[in-house]
């Protein structure tokens, strides 16, 4: 075989291998959907999906088991909403400071330092929450236990803050200089330019950042498992103990018999979680694309 022929064959072969490697992502996504539905499937026939609409989650009982996802959904929603209430204003203000106000050397320190927060394992944050944040909440509000939705929300906001800061900062930095300069030339002050020109121009990017942050927060498991107290009740009080969808899967999956109704119900929770994050992701990408903020 001639050398050039060999080269051409290698070339074709490598291309094929690389396409294969790139297709793995598609394959994995398909397999995730396939296997979640495979494991959860039989539940739809017996006892039927209507069981998920139950108002209670009592998966183990001597009388009748209840698999109502409602209390878990409300738990996740409450914790996520509280976390976002704390996270969004802080992250946006901090990203404004880092992108527009901080001195370049200051920025060189602030950015990697806040990145550290993103790499602290969630179980370590959960542990910190258990020993430091929960007692604090307990004393401040005079509760019998510090394991509340609020405690979980505060920890989750610690996790979402670096994500949202870094994405909104990207959005702020990518606002064209011409816009800022035009505003300054018209006599607007530095702050006026930031709040009336730069921020509105970067808004789609910030909205997308927030949505991706919500996706992360809803899917977070360990920290909420450790500090929210885990009682599956339907409530909207920040100071009560709640149980999220993720925590339910993590806490109960270890103890259920494989293939049981309870096991299948837990996979349905996984499907609901996947659906929510998938939706948030797609919408965030749409927003970024529509406003031409895609890199």
**Least distance from C-beta 50 to another protein, angstroms?**
22
Q: Least Å distance between CB 233 and another protein? A: 20
Q: Is residue 129 exposed (0-12), middle (13-18) or buried (19+ Cβ within 10 Å)?
A: buried
* 135 binds another protein per the rule CB under 8 A: no
- Nearer to another protein (CB atom), residue 8 or residue 49: 8
Interface of this chain with another protein, residues 191 to 210, rule: CB under 8 A: 191-192
DSSP H/E element including 58? strand 57-58
| Region 73-92 residues binding another protein, contact defined as CB under 8 A | 90
> How many CB atoms within 10 Å of residue 81?
15
Total residues contacting another protein by CB under 8 A comes to 84
Dist. CA 85–CA 207, nearest whole Å: 14
Q: Does 290 bind another protein (CB under 8 A)?
A: no
In 208-238, which positions are buried (b, 16+ CB within 10 angstroms) versus exposed (e)? bbbbbbbbbbbbbbbbbbbbbbbebebeeeb
Write down the least CB distance from residue 101 to another protein, Å: 6
270-283: b (≥16 Cβ within 10 Å) or e = bebbeebbeebeee
Q: Does 105 bind another protein (CB under 8 A)?
A: no
Looking at 51-59, 136-144, 199-207, 266-274, which segment touches another protein (CB under 8 A)? 266-274
Q: Which range of residues in 61-69, 178-186, 222-230, 233-241 is near another protein by CB under 8 A? A: 222-230
Q: Does 235 sit near another protein (CB under 8 A)?
A: no
- Strand (E) or helix (H) holding 95: helix 70-96
Q: Is 291 in the site for another protein (CB under 8 A)?
A: no
Say if CB 233 and CB 71 are below 8 A apart.
yes
What is the per-residue burial (b if ≥16 Cβ within 10 Å, else e) of 242-252? bbbbbbbbbeb
Selected binder of another protein within 69, 82, 84, 94 (CB under 8 A): 94
Query: Residue 67's beta-bridge partner residues?
Result: 57
CA–CA distance, 115 with 229 (Å, rounded to integer): 29
Q: Is 145 in the site for another protein (CB under 8 A)?
A: no
Which of residues 71 and 229 has its CB atom nearest to another protein in the complex?
229
Distance CA 72, CA 76 (A): 6
* Residue written as token pair 């992250």: 91
Name the one residue in this structure whose structure tokens are 């990518």.
174
Q: Which of 58, 253, 261, 293 binds another protein (CB under 8 A)?
A: 253
Nearer to another protein, 188 or 201 (CB): 188
Of the candidates 250, 232, 246, 252, the residue with the CA atom closest to the CA atom of residue 274: 246
Q: Which positions from 156 through 175 interact with another protein, judged by CB under 8 A?
A: 158, 161
159 close to 90: Cβ distance less than 8 angstroms: no
Nearest distance, CB of residue 96 and another protein, angstroms: 6
For position 250 contacting another protein by CB under 8 A, the verdict is yes
Site for another protein in 8-67 (CB under 8 A): 8, 10-11, 14-15, 17-26, 28-29, 31-32, 35-36, 38-39
Of the listed pieces 49-57, 61-69, 170-178, 271-279, which binds another protein according to CB under 8 A? 271-279
């Amino acid at each position: 075989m001639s050398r050039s022929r060999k080269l051409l064959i290698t070339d074709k072969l490598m291309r094929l291998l690389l396409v294969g490697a790139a297709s793995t992502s598609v394959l994995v996504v398909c397999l995730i959907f396939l296997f979640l539905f495979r494991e959860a499937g039989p539940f739809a026939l017996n006892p039927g999906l209507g069981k998920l609409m139950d108002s209670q989650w009592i998966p183990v009982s001597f009388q009748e088991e209840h698999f109502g996802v409602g209390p878990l959904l409300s738990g996740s929603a409450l914790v996520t909403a509280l976390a976002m209430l704390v996270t969004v204003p802080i992250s946006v203000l901090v990203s404004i400071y880092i992108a527009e106000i901080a001195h370049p050397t200051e920025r060189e320190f602030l950015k990697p330092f806040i990145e550290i927060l993103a790499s602290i394992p969630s179980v370590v944050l959960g542990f910190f929450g258990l020993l430091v944040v929960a007692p604090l909440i307990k004393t401040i509000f005079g509760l019998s236990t510090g394991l509340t939705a609020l405690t979980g929300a505060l920890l989750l906001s610690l996790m979402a803050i670096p994500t949202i800061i870094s994405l909104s900062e990207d959005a702020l930095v990518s606002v064209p200089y011409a816009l800022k300069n035009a505003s300054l030339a018209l006599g607007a002050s530095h702050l006026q330019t930031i709040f009336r020109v730069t921020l509105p121009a970067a808004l789609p990017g910030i909205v997308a950042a927030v949505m991706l942050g919500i996706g992360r927060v809803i899917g977070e498991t360990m920290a909420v498992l450790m500090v929210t107290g885990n009682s599956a009740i339907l409530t909207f009080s920040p100071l009560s103990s709640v149980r999220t969808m993720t925590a339910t899967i993590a806490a109960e999956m270890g103890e259920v018999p494989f293939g049981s109704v309870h096991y299948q119900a837990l996979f349905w929770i996984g499907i609901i979680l996947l659906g929510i994050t998938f939706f948030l992701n797609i919408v965030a990408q749409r927003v970024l694309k529509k406003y031409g903020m895609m890199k």
